[in-house]
Amino acid sequence: MTITQETVARKIAAYRHPEITLAQLVDWAEDAMMDGGFFGAGDGPLASGSDNPHFLKT
């Protein structure tokens, strides 16, 4: 299963609008990572946060 930005946004929205619990969100994310659904930086639809020049900017 390929995880896109839209997929992540829908899951976060579901959590923010009490449709799923935090535990369910975490379980989904862990399962997706174990299945290899997330792409690495520059490899697919989701780029690493560290690719963003404002990531952890101090």
Residue 52, Ramachandran bin (φ over 0: left; ψ between -120 and 50: alpha; else beta): beta
Has residue 57 been placed in a domain?
no
The count of domains in the chain is: 1
27 domain-assigned: yes
The CA–CA distances, whole Å, from 32 to 2, 11, 22, 56, 57 equal 9, 12, 15, 25, 28
Assess if residue 10 is contained within a domain.
yes
pLDDT at 58: 46
pLDDT for 49 equals: 52
Average pLDDT over residues 12-33: 95
Mean pLDDT, rounded, for 3-21? 93
- The answer to pTM > 0.85 is no
Flag whether 31 is in a domain: yes
Print the domain residue range for 16. 5-51
Residue 22 confidence class, pLDDT cut points 50, 70, 90? very high
